[in-house]
Chain A
């Protein structure tokens, strides 16, 4: 357990360093970090499903999208969520994401393996279709432009203030998910990931466990969406497209699934590459495609898996658990 406390300490120290350094960097870095942290909440919610429950969801952008659209629609159509009621929007976003996941989960959880992938893809496309076509509500292809961020004594229009807020949400989300996966409930999820049949024989209602995990992930997705909408000030169907879901999956695998921290690292790398390179060179997408290909072929356990592999090789205390299992459950 000392090992575990040491890991927590490293993560806490890294986060503290981030929160100390980033605000004093340029505005580009602040914005980049804010965006990445909002998205990292989504990536960690994907990891909750993929890494800890063994469900590869291709529709996680749906919950992200409803959170974002909820924020934008409330702000522009009802002028709601521009002051202290921002916090109500946050709660509504989480509830809406969870409620949507509760609905979608009824269809999806029954299926396994590739069929789960397909059905979540279809569910994600349902939400995308509404965002793209429901002009009167979502603004269609153009999306919704929001005017400014909430101000409740604390002016979120200030990029640095807003960074602190998103950072707080990010850190709290990570801590909550960490507590969740270490809890008995989280342990039973890991059991389902490893061997669902055995868990059923042991008397666990595996459907219900997966369903609850799905709903929790949806809630975090909704939260990420609310923050994302506020970060960009603009919501469009691009938020809900298939590639958003796929990106979040890659981030998890790149960082190392089943680690939470890996999801955050993966998000940071992909965002860093994409946002920084796209300002420099027109061919940045080769790099992104290359990262996909290299990760999948040569780094299936992700960077965290690489790390534990190195630790194992050089005989430290680490047991290299990551190396013993595949990045994802073979189906």
Chain B
């Protein structure tokens, strides 16, 4: 264990932390602004990677896949937020979407059970009928808002995580896939006799860029001030005329965007495979919890800490490596439940 070992491990830890920052900062902002514990965040990461793979397969351009995949997932996040998490004014569409989902499942089940043939006309008729029935029923049910109930948010977003997981399995299959970045990024640079993969340098660069841009937006713009006000006290922010509803929509989409970006970037060295979503999710939560929910600077510190702890843990104490990651997290929470930089 010479200096080289420490340098390489520290570098790997920092670059992994850079990836975790992208995933964790979005999760942190979402919690800060909306008070929503979003367990489908890992699914956004996974879908970002998968959509990027499809875009690369279609266009051959890795550079194009980066923004497009992230935007696509941001759109998914936006729709999910509007229809299911903050659905005032959209109950009609929400009920229709859920009804349609149930209609499709019922039709699939009917085909599987040989109640109807495999023709698409019968399929469509069954779908439409069941959809209408459920739509009618749901329109008669009033819903208790989930905004104030953390547990219901958790379970709802877990439900969506399962739906996303199965969706990804059906669309892209169950194989382990890799995103191949352009060859220019796969080389190594030599710094002081140590080989550093250029791709990891790129990851750090991306995280730094996004971190600085986010920080500037949050600290220096009117929009950022409104977001910070919402994090501190949403009710008061509404009182002084800030449209917190629009801010929460924007932040949720931004969080999904960042997670998907992480998925595209991380897919090159983690691979993209079923189950990755629930592997990355606890790590993202570790970042958020250590840093404090709703704090961008906290997310950066948290990501760095988790990245380093993960790398050194695996290198030094492989048998207890995840324990060395989560145990400090417990200690921090026990001493300061709001995390290092969180405010209650």
Establish whether residues B146 and A285, one from each chain, have CB atoms under 8 Å apart when the complex forms.
no
Considering the chains assembled together, what is the distance between the CA atoms of A114 and B285 in angstroms?
A: 12
Determine the chain B residues whose CB is within 8 A of the CB of A285 once the complex forms: 162-163, 165-166, 169
- From A119, A130, A134, A331, give the contact of B337 (CB < 8 A): A119
Establish whether residues A126 and B155, one from each chain, have CB atoms under 8 Å apart when the complex forms.
no
User: Contacts A110-B334, A111-B337, A117-B151; is A290 near B163 (CB within 8 Å)?
Assistant: yes
Establish whether residues B338 and A122, one from each chain, have CB atoms under 8 Å apart when the complex forms.
no
Q: Does A148 contact B (CB under 8 A)?
A: no
Q: Does B323 contact A (CB under 8 A)?
A: yes
Q: Give A273 Cβ to nearest chain B Cβ, in Å.
A: 12
Establish whether residues B162 and A133, one from each chain, have CB atoms under 8 Å apart when the complex forms.
no
Determine the chain A residues whose CB is within 8 A of the CB of B334 once the complex forms: 106-108, 110-111, 119
Q: Does A281 contact B (CB under 8 A)?
A: yes
Q: Give B177 Cβ to nearest chain A Cβ, in Å.
A: 19
Establish whether residues A290 and B102, one from each chain, have CB atoms under 8 Å apart when the complex forms.
yes
Considering the chains assembled together, what is the distance between the CA atoms of A119 and B337 in angstroms?
A: 8
Q: Does B150 contact A (CB under 8 A)?
A: yes
Establish whether residues B330 and A126, one from each chain, have CB atoms under 8 Å apart when the complex forms.
yes
From B323, which residue of chain A is reached at the shortest CB distance?
Answer: A129
- From A108, A134, A296, A298, give the contact of B155 (CB < 8 A): A296
In A106-134, the 8 Å CB interface with B consists of 106-108, 110-111, 113-115, 117-119, 121-123, 125-126, 128-130, 132-134
Considering the chains assembled together, what is the distance between the CA atoms of A113 and B35 in angstroms?
A: 11
Establish whether residues A293 and B84, one from each chain, have CB atoms under 8 Å apart when the complex forms.
yes
Considering the chains assembled together, what is the distance between the CA atoms of A294 and B160 in angstroms?
A: 11
A interface, size bucket: 35 or more
Q: Does B101 contact A (CB under 8 A)?
A: yes
Q: List 30 A-B contacts (CB under 8 A).
A: A107-B330, A111-B334, A114-B150, A114-B293, A117-B151, A118-B37, A118-B289, A122-B285, A128-B322, A133-B321, A134-B320, A135-B319, A242-B281, A246-B158, A250-B158, A282-B170, A283-B105, A283-B166, A286-B101, A286-B163, A286-B166, A289-B159, A289-B162, A289-B165, A290-B105, A293-B159, A326-B144, A326-B149, A331-B149, A331-B150
Determine the chain B residues whose CB is within 8 A of the CB of A106 once the complex forms: 334
- From A133, A282, A330, give the contact of B323 (CB < 8 A): A133
Q: Does B33 contact A (CB under 8 A)?
A: no
From B138, which residue of chain A is reached at the shortest CB distance?
Answer: A298
User: Contacts A110-B337, A330-B148; is A122 near B319 (CB within 8 Å)?
Assistant: no
Give per-residue flags for B2-37: 1 if the beta carbon is below 8 A from chain A beta carbons, else 0. 000000000000000000000000000000000101
- From B37, B144, B286, B321, give the contact of A122 (CB < 8 A): B286
From B146, which residue of chain A is reached at the shortest CB distance?
Answer: A296
Determine the chain A residues whose CB is within 8 A of the CB of B293 once the complex forms: 114
Considering the chains assembled together, what is the distance between the CA atoms of A126 and B322 in angstroms?
A: 7
Q: Give A172 Cβ to nearest chain B Cβ, in Å.
A: 28
Considering the chains assembled together, what is the distance between the CA atoms of A125 and B319 in angstroms?
A: 15
Q: Does A154 contact B (CB under 8 A)?
A: no
Establish whether residues B102 and A246, one from each chain, have CB atoms under 8 Å apart when the complex forms.
no
B interface, size bucket: 35 or more
In A275-316, the 8 Å CB interface with B consists of 280-283, 285-298, 300
From B42, which residue of chain A is reached at the shortest CB distance?
Answer: A242
Establish whether residues B319 and A292, one from each chain, have CB atoms under 8 Å apart when the complex forms.
no
Give per-residue flags for A24-45: 1 if the beta carbon is below 8 A from chain B beta carbons, else 0. 0000000000000000000000
Give per-residue flags for B104-118: 1 if the beta carbon is below 8 A from chain A beta carbons, else 0. 010011001000000
Establish whether residues B278 and A242, one from each chain, have CB atoms under 8 Å apart when the complex forms.
yes
Considering the chains assembled together, what is the distance between the CA atoms of A292 and B112 in angstroms?
A: 23
Q: Give A167 Cβ to nearest chain B Cβ, in Å.
A: 28
- From B108, B282, B327, give the contact of A281 (CB < 8 A): B108
Q: Does B39 contact A (CB under 8 A)?
A: yes
Q: Give A207 Cβ to nearest chain B Cβ, in Å.
A: 14
- Residues of A at under 8 Å CB distance from B? 50, 56, 58, 106-108, 110-111, 113-115, 117-119, 121-123, 125-126, 128-130, 132-136, 241-243, 246, 249-250, 253, 280-283, 285-298, 300, 326-328, 330-331
From A58, which residue of chain B is reached at the shortest CB distance?
Answer: B154
Q: Does B205 contact A (CB under 8 A)?
A: no
Determine the chain B residues whose CB is within 8 A of the CB of A241 once the complex forms: 278
Considering the chains assembled together, what is the distance between the CA atoms of A111 and B322 in angstroms?
A: 23
Establish whether residues A327 and B152, one from each chain, have CB atoms under 8 Å apart when the complex forms.
yes
Q: Does B258 contact A (CB under 8 A)?
A: no
From B109, which residue of chain A is reached at the shortest CB distance?
Answer: A281
> Would you list the 3 A-B pairs with minimal beta carbon distance, nearest first?
A129-B322, A292-B159, A289-B162
Establish whether residues B321 and A328, one from each chain, have CB atoms under 8 Å apart when the complex forms.
no
Known: A242-B278, A281-B112, A296-B155. 18 other contacts (CB 8 A): A58-B154, A115-B338, A118-B285, A122-B285, A125-B286, A129-B320, A133-B323, A134-B319, A285-B165, A285-B169, A293-B98, A293-B159, A297-B143, A297-B156, A298-B138, A298-B143, A327-B149, A327-B151
Considering the chains assembled together, what is the distance between the CA atoms of A13 and B278 in angstroms?
A: 41
Establish whether residues B278 and A243, one from each chain, have CB atoms under 8 Å apart when the complex forms.
yes
Q: Does B141 contact A (CB under 8 A)?
A: yes
Q: Does B300 contact A (CB under 8 A)?
A: no
Establish whether residues A133 and B151, one from each chain, have CB atoms under 8 Å apart when the complex forms.
no
From A295, which residue of chain B is reached at the shortest CB distance?
Answer: B155
Establish whether residues B155 and A289, one from each chain, have CB atoms under 8 Å apart when the complex forms.
no
- From A117, A125, A287, give the contact of B282 (CB < 8 A): A125
